[in-house]
Structure 1
Amino acid sequence: MLAVAQIDYIRHEVNEKGETYASVGRRMGVDPRTVNKYANQEEFKRKEKQKRKSPVMDPVKPILDKWIKEDLNKKRKYHRTAKRMFQQLEKFHSFTGSYRTVRDYVSRRKQELKETTVDAALPLESFPGTAQVDFGTAPFKYQSEVIELPYLVMSFPYSNSFYFQVFPSENTECLLEGLQQMFHYMGGVPKTIRFDNLSPAVKKIRARGERDLTDTFDRFVLHYGFSYEFCNPGKGNEKGHVEAMVKYVRNNFLLPENTILDLDQFNKTLWKLAEEDRSRPHYEKDIIQSKLYEEEKDSWLVLPEKEFECARYQDIKADKYGMVTIDKKQYSTSPRFAKQKVSVCITYNTVLILNDNNEVIVKHSRLYGIRRKSMIWQPYLDLLSKRPRAIKYSSLYDQFPAIWSDYLIDCTEEEQKSALRLLGELLKSEDFSLLNEALQVASMHGHPSVEQIKHCFYTLLNQDTPHTTIMPNMSIPKVPEITRGLSHYDSFFQKEDGY
């Protein structure tokens, strides 16, 4: 059969220019009857490929297809080779064909299945193994106040199911921590995930749909191996399923306001809520959603051996107090790092101050909301208790609560040493409240000593502790009554008959 370009040339020369079959045939080096055939042909049907039966290979083709599909969900280094498949067919399925036949079939089917997977992933709403991700917001009660917090939703359009987790922010660390928690709870990774142009993932949108990704998100994608898609700017409808699911989650699970005491514990209760919701039929397929969700699992990628470190590292210069600023919040380091660069590791819930050997010097809970400063006093107090005069020149008084600043100013050098050592001993967090109260009570009769402050502190600490009487397990013999005089000596001189 001639190529399409040759057929097109024949039809143009004969039908439009009026050339003869013989002249065209001579120029092309083909028989004039062939020129006649294609010049006047009305239909160009696709030639059907003949399928020959293969009594040896046909029974094992479904088995090979299953193995190939399983391997496509794993890293390449974990894929079975064609030789290994051939050996398993021989050993477990009584296969009598040749290795070359198996090798050729596996090579061809891998390519076909890869192309099918890529093409099938484009219409995201129709195929298992795909997901959509977005944030929503809802009100929560926290410490007697109503605050608004974001929640991350991952929806699965094929089964109309979802998971969701609540976070203190929509930053990169919260996004990646949420995705990772979902992956590991699910036991797999969706092959393709569609996102809106979230700032934690996308730094800049360029021409023709190209995007500059944040470094941490880029490495996260490489670690878990999923494909990502982003909606076109202003086209939120391109992830319509998760948009609807964000609203569904808020209306059915997060209203009215839930009370949060511990965010991690609260999030653990949300897995079951999402799973119980799958007991309803799919809105189109008339199948219980939990069954469709089970089908999703076969299309997921296998989890990597290790979790991803959902953290970013920065080198930041500390101010004259040894404080560093991260996302407009201040965190203490140590006075020896004043006006020097320090390394920080930032996760969704912690800020770690590191030394040159990447060892943790100070660990902070990450700040969100209106609170602006986190102060861990131990590194400061240890140094200052050895050099109390330095406190007058470091402006560190400004960092202490006012009652302690005033007290330290009035102390002698030795009293300052003792007071700073006491603070280092008793201050186990950044909460000065009980120490402030102890100093206030001790100061009622003038400038107190360190021992008086310590006594007041432990009195306040233990005043609500109930006192219990410890009863011994052993029985105590009854003590005989005491008698006065010397009459009890007479018993030594009495005879057996009483005289």
Structure 2
Amino acid sequence: MIRSGLILMIRQEAQSGQTAYAIGKKLGISKNTAKKYIKDVPEDHGLKERKRPSKLDPYKLQVDTLMSRGIFNCVVIMERIQDAGYDGGITIIKDYVQNKRPPRNTPAVRRYETLPGKQAQMDWGIVHYIDEKGIVHKAPAFMMILGSSRTKYLEFTKRCDFYSLLRCIVNAFEYFDGVPEIVLTDRMKTVIDGSEAGKPLWNKRFEDFASDMGFIPKVCRPKRPQTKGKVERLVDYVKDNFLPGRTFTDAEDLNRHAIAWCQKADSKRHGTTGEIPLESLMKEPLLALPSQETRDKYRWEVRKVTRDGFISYDGAMYGIPWCYSGRELRVRILGEYFEAYDGNVRIVQHKVEYTSGRIVWLKGQYEGLTERNGIAAPLSYAYKVRDISVETRPLSIYDQAAGVM
């Protein structure tokens, strides 16, 4: 028994016109062996390529006419040709129509390339991770990309509310070291309150924020997210490239990974622009950052202290002196610390706790609570005083005392 590869070579030589003797001499086999495998070439079966008639054959011209009119629903086609006498099933109709069916009518869009410094696009993406106990969690991811240089910014948060959005935008501008002229987003509730006559009704607080930061907000058209396609592709890129298999210890660690990944990705030549994003960023004429005081203003939140003296922030509970119970304080994350302020006075500073459900106690949190029966503000009291009556005397008495007659 010879190998299948040698059999193939025998048949190839035979097809080129070589005799069995010549083939045997060339391949080192006997001419009888070569002759055997030349004769064993399988012949085509008599039924091969033979087409069986179909019940649909007499009606294919009618089916083609229906398809030319935009009718590709096989149930409708079957009903129409049944009126003409068709008595077959729907499967052969589906097989015939399948290869002739046009692609779905997805509207084409114009490709836009923005000028340097002109526009940034932002969006939220919801990602998933598995904790050490094997439980799957969701997490919001804020993303912003500059339209010209394609420089990216990525930040993971515990919430995608109004305060988190503003903080992330400020952080992104600081990462870019400048502010783009326009920021394009979808029609999220934290940005607009609705629309009127086709125009967006801006959230007043977001409008004030945009004014302070110096950019013009714009939203994409309803049901047309492809108008901000750069950030839409970035969302997919993060999910497919950054997240799979990545390990981290907490939110702060994950965000360190995110910045390092952005810098690494933006140090490579971009497939569309042919430029290195971080190098192109240096050429973008971004607007100057507003003052540090203005930027820090949008890192604050207002939170109410619970009756038992805690403020809830990003899933953790931070202890506050009990005398502030029921009051609203300004809070923020500054570096690795959670801070709470009463006006401009810092009340507490805690190390940030990134694990949800944790309680961070304050030393002396309930000091004086028992003595004052849990009442922080002084009660409204009435005060009893001695009754001091003033005697009324005629003025002549004072004259006599002074020796005046």
TM-score when normalising by structure 2? 0.53
Measured in 2, the distance between the counterparts of 1:299 and 1:390 equals 61
Q: 1:321 to 1:288 in 2, by over 3 A?
A: closer
Measured in 2, the distance between the counterparts of 1:228 and 1:308 equals 20
Contact 1:168 1:368 (8 Å CA) reproduced: no
Q: 1:209 to 1:379 in 2, by over 3 A?
A: farther
For residues 456-479 of structure 1, the C-alpha deviation after alignment (integer angstroms, 9 at most, x for no partner) is xxxxxxxxxxxxxxxxxxxxxxxx
TM superposition shift of 1:162:
1.9
Give the AA of the match of 2:156: V
TM superposition shift of 1:298:
3.1
Equivalent in the alignment of 1:293: 280
Asked if 1:237 is matched to 2:222, the reply is no
Q: 1:148 to 1:180 in 2, by over 3 A?
A: same
Q: 1:312 to 1:284 in 2, by over 3 A?
A: closer
Q: 1:305 to 1:235 in 2, by over 3 A?
A: same
- The alignment partner of 1:259 has SS state of coil
Asked if 1:193 is matched to 2:183, the reply is yes
Alignment of 1:349-388 (within 5 A): 352-355=339-342, 357-363=343-349, 371=357, 374=359, 376-384=361-369, 387=371
Measured in 2, the distance between the counterparts of 1:187 and 1:319 equals 39
Equivalent in the alignment of 2:322: 335
Equivalent in the alignment of 1:269: 257
Measured in 2, the distance between the counterparts of 1:291 and 1:369 equals 34
Contact 2:303 2:311 (8 Å CA) reproduced: no
Q: 1:289 to 1:277 in 2, by over 3 A?
A: same
Equivalent in the alignment of 2:156: 166
Equivalent in the alignment of 1:345: 330
TM superposition shift of 1:343:
2.4
Measured in 1, the distance between the counterparts of 2:303 and 2:264 equals 45
Q: 1:333 to 1:294 in 2, by over 3 A?
A: closer
- The alignment partner of 2:366 has SS state of helix
Equivalent in the alignment of 1:109: none
Measured in 1, the distance between the counterparts of 2:356 and 2:267 equals 41
For residues 209-259 of structure 1, the C-alpha deviation after alignment (integer angstroms, 9 at most, x for no partner) is 1323251x3343223211221123322122111111110121011113x33
Contact 1:128 1:158 (8 Å CA) reproduced: yes
Measured in 1, the distance between the counterparts of 2:362 and 2:184 equals 45
Contact 2:140 2:157 (8 Å CA) reproduced: yes
Equivalent in the alignment of 1:474: none
Q: Paired residue for 2:127, among 138, 150, 175?
A: 138
Q: 1:214 to 1:362 in 2, by over 3 A?
A: farther
Contact 1:189 1:224 (8 Å CA) reproduced: yes
Equivalent in the alignment of 1:180: 170
Q: 1:382 to 1:213 in 2, by over 3 A?
A: same
- How many residue pairs are counted as aligned between the two chains? 261
**RMSD value over aligned CA atoms?**
3.9
Contact 2:141 2:157 (8 Å CA) reproduced: yes
Measured in 2, the distance between the counterparts of 1:207 and 1:327 equals 38
Alignment of 1:209-248 (within 5 A): 209-215=199-205, 217-248=206-237
- The alignment partner of 1:242 has SS state of helix
Gap runs ≥5 in structure 2? 1-110, 376-405
- The alignment partner of 2:187 has SS state of coil
- The alignment partner of 1:255 has SS state of coil
Measured in 2, the distance between the counterparts of 1:159 and 1:380 equals 51
- The alignment partner of 1:125 has SS state of coil
Contact 1:142 1:260 (8 Å CA) reproduced: no
- The alignment partner of 2:368 has SS state of helix
Q: 1:314 to 1:302 in 2, by over 3 A?
A: closer
Asked if 1:249 is matched to 2:249, the reply is no
- The alignment partner of 1:126 has SS state of coil
Equivalent in the alignment of 1:149: 139
Give the AA of the match of 2:222: P
Asked if 1:302 is matched to 2:288, the reply is yes
Give the AA of the match of 1:272: A
